[in-house]
A = this chain, B = another copy of it.
Amino acid sequence: MRAQLNARSLALLPSQPAPPASHSLFGSIELMGASMTFKKGAEIYGENEPADYVYKLISGTARSYQILNDGRRQIQDFYFPGDIFGLEAGPEHASSTEAMSDVSVLVVRRSAILSAATRDSDVASQLWAYTSRELHHARNHAMLLVKTAQERVASFLLQLAERCTGNAVELPMSRQDIADYLGLTIETVSRTLTQFQDEAAIELPSSRRVVLRNRLALNNLNA
């Protein structure tokens, strides 16, 4: 199940000097990256593994999570195409990341990014901005976790809807994934969605498809 980045695949990563800076963190160095694919359910990296690589999601969806000592899984983030993940300041990954579908990623050595950052202050600035955005996300997530079930689900739907145009939202994750992201059980997520449908705030044409009918009602719950 675990995809390996072994000496063989490492040979695919050339270490040439970075081209001139661009505005995206990966922009200036992504030509150095290798492309990799992971099957649905495969682990891209695991907690406590050396954080030697940074990933940019090209296609598919991924989730990062930690496991509590009682076995519960807390999902920290979902990643969509264009998202960067796996970047850590410490030597090891603090969470695991899995492919939720077949996934293709661009892989770059962390050391390449760090050394580019010492040479190019634009890269350094992007590095900081990226981590800062993650920090905001993590704090918003923490705010979510003290709300009621209705507020959590409403916030989640609105958050997903931001990535879409129109009111139709495709859910690339299962009810269990949603529950583990929101700190609820699948039953509560399911009941809450049904309740929103009963209140005509949303429609559920299928279990993986949500149409927002009354954004205002959801927003009122979005503490």
Interface positions of A (Cβ within 8 A of B)? 66, 68-70, 72, 74, 76, 88-90, 94-95, 114, 117-119, 121, 124-125, 127-129, 131-136, 138-139, 141-143, 145-147, 183, 223
Contacts and interface: CB of A to CB of B under 8 A. Distances in A.
Contacts of A68: 143, 146-147, 223
A64 B184 CA distance: 26
A61 to B, nearest CB: 20
Contacts of A69: 223
Given A121-B118, A125-B124, A147-B68, A74 B142 contact: yes
A133 B127 CA distance: 14
A147 B138 CA distance: 17
A139 B138 contact: yes
Among A70, A119, A125, A133, the one with the most B-chain Cβ atoms within 10 Å of its Cβ is: A125
25 contacts: A66-B139, A68-B146, A68-B223, A74-B142, A74-B143, A76-B142, A89-B133, A90-B136, A94-B139, A117-B124, A117-B125, A118-B125, A119-B121, A121-B121, A124-B124, A128-B128, A131-B135, A134-B135, A135-B135, A135-B138, A138-B138, A138-B141, A142-B142, A145-B145, A145-B183
